[in-house]
Amino acid sequence: MKTILILGAGKSSTYLIDYLADSCVEKGRKLLLADLDPNLAKSKLKDRPQTEVEEMDLENPQSRRNLIAKADVVISMLPAMMHPVVAKDSLDLGKHFFTASYESDALREMAPEIEKRGLFFLNECGLDPGIDHMSAMKIIDTARSKGEDILSFKSYCGGLLAPESEDNPWKYKFTWNPRNVVLAGQGTSRFIENGELKYVPYHRLFRRVETIKFPGLGEFDGYPNRDSLSYRHVYHLENIPTLLRGTLRRAGFCKAWDVFVQLGMTDDSFLMKFPGGSTYRQFLNAFLPWSDTLTVEEKLAEEIPDLDFSMFEKLQWLGFFEHRPLPRGEGSPAQILQAILEKDWQLLPEDRDMIVMQHQLQIKTASGIKKVTSSLVEIGKDSRYTAMAKTVGLPLAIAVDLFLEGKIKSKGLCLPVVPEIYEPILNELEKHQIRFVEEEWI
């Protein structure tokens, strides 16, 4: 009997757990689920046969290794910093390893030993990264098989709200790690456009947006991710003139978010300490010049010359002009801002989230330049069975199932960018209504 170990029972694990737990009896497998909160893990397993909750003590190396030793396959749904630790234990103990997260340098250093030991380590098999890779490579490989050349590839993805749950001016709530949202884009974005390398520093990022349209859903802001250039190698598009990967927010979000960036409220490099009883208004004012005549609103308008009603409305809705007590008075600006946003951007039980992804390609064919748009829209059921959890967890669960069935025979450190991996996963995802709609024209 093969044993699967899942480390982490958080929000993004729901569909992963259900998919694998539901088939344990039929496929003669055992599922172990470990989390810092055993009650959470128990609630996710629902007493299904051949499933067990395990205690997890990640800080204790021996305890962690004893847990991994029980499994044939290890799935890490832990914070990214823990993946190399768990991967190293899995390598030492001869266990196969799966994660939805980015392949790190630490994992790449293990690649020769992984291959030598005949193990399969699959990374970037969630949503973004994951479904984006697989769906893109299907289009790219199909074009190549016809002798066509990819001239331009742009890909955007966002975790947002379903239209019926867009009940605030930002049209946004946290459907993913709030800290990652607050710190998104820090660093310099790199991509290539029409043969020219482009670099966008953080303080310009949310001003360099493209308008992306989805039929029936309207317009979105698309801004570039930190590093698009590395995907020239991943997608075997080393000589492509245009390649950009980006993030989606509702139209107007980026312009308002840029206020926080320009003022320094997303800075995570220094600590602030406010007296007890300090307010949102005082937090905002801390980033504005002193004046004995101007109000906070007037100073903000001077600091942000393009401040318009839509931007002001979004800040006002969050309470920044009110004497509302700060939920946290000490921490970095980013930490305090996150605490403020968590109060009003919390996903309510009745809320439904939405995943939107779109690839835009220009392909040189015998008949001319063909333009292809491939779009995915997935809407969640509720605040537990979210579109985010479905699109992150299902591809990973399907990959594990296929591997244990012997339908994926690859070995070594892998990404889901080869037909043997992406074709059966995409086919199975379609059975769960995760499918792309393609349009093309010349």
Q: Where residue 288 sits, what CATH number does that domain have? A: 1.10.1870
Give the domain range for residue 217: 131-252+349-386
In a domain? residue 439: no
Percent above pLDDT 90 for the chain = 92
Asked if residue 19 is part of any domain, the answer here is yes
Task: Note whether 387 and 396 are within 8 A (CB).
Answer: no
Query: How many angstroms from the chain centroid is the CA of residue 186?
Result: 15
Model confidence pLDDT, tens digit, residues 283-337 = 999 999 999 999 999 999 999 999 999 999 999 999 999 999 999 999 999 999 9
Note whether 136 and 169 are same-domain residues: yes
Q: Are residues 191 and 304 in the same domain?
A: no
Asked, for residue 378, whether it belongs to a domain, the answer is yes
- Residue 216 sits at φ, ψ, to 5 deg, of 80, -10
Whether 279 is in a domain gets the answer yes
CATH number, domain containing residue 78: 3.40.50.720
pLDDT at 354: 97
Specify the pLDDT at position 211: 96
| 400 in a structural domain | no
Q: What is the pLDDT of residue 106?
A: 94
Q: How many domains does the chain have?
A: 3
User: What's the chain's length in residues?
Assistant: 442
For position 442, what pLDDT does the model report? 85
> Which band of pLDDT confidence, cut at 50, 70 and 90, is reported for residue 58?
confident
How confident is the model at residue 11, as a pLDDT? 87
Task: Say if residue 172 is in the same domain as residue 196.
Answer: yes
pTM of the full predicted structure? 0.93
In terms of domains, do 266 and 119 share one? no
Place of tokens 């199909």: 142
Pair 84, 224 in one domain = no
pLDDT of residue 57: 84
Report the pLDDT value the prediction gives residue 83, as an integer from 0 to 100. 93
Q: Is residue 71 part of a domain?
A: yes
pLDDT of residue 263: 97
Name the token pair of 181.
């949202």
In DSSP notation, 35-64 reads ES-HHHHHHHHTT-TTEEEEE--TT-HHHH
- Do residues 266 and 301 share a domain? yes
Residues 357 and 332 in one domain: no
Residues 240 and 292 in one domain: no
Residue 191 has pLDDT above 90, yes or no: yes
Residue 30 confidence class, pLDDT cut points 50, 70, 90:
very high
Give the per-residue pLDDT at 358.
97
Domain endpoint, select from 91, 123, 155: 123
Tell me, what's the pLDDT at 127? 96
- CA 65/CA 146 separation, integer angstroms: 48
> pLDDT at residue 59 above 90?
no
List helix spans (H) across 286-418: 296-303, 309-317, 333-344, 387-404
Mean pLDDT, range 70-87, rounded to an integer: 94
Share of the chain above pLDDT 70, in %: 100
Q: What is the pLDDT of residue 25?
A: 94
User: Would you call 116 exposed, middle or buried from its count of C-beta atoms within 10 A (0-12, 13-18, 19+)?
Assistant: exposed
Exposed/middle/buried for residue 73 (C-beta within 10 Å: 0-12, 13-18, 19+): buried
pLDDT over threshold 90, residue 176:
no
30 three-state secondary structure? strand
Q: Are strands 73-76 and 2-7 parallel, antiparallel or unpaired?
A: parallel
* Segment 265-275 mean pLDDT: 96
Domain boundary among 123, 148, 164: 123
Are residue 111 and residue 170 in the same domain, yes or no?
A: no
Going by DSSP bridges, is the β-strand pair 218-224/210-214 parallel, antiparallel, or unpaired?
antiparallel
Which has the minimum average pLDDT: 143-157, 173-187, 328-342?
173-187
**pLDDT tens figures, 358-407:** 999 999 999 999 999 999 999 999 888 999 999 999 999 999 999 999 99
Q: Would the pLDDT of 85 be above 90? A: yes
> Whole-angstrom Cα distance, residue 132 to residue 386?
18
pLDDT given for residue 170 in this prediction: 97
Rounded average pLDDT over 25-52:
94
Averaged pLDDT score across all residues of the chain = 95
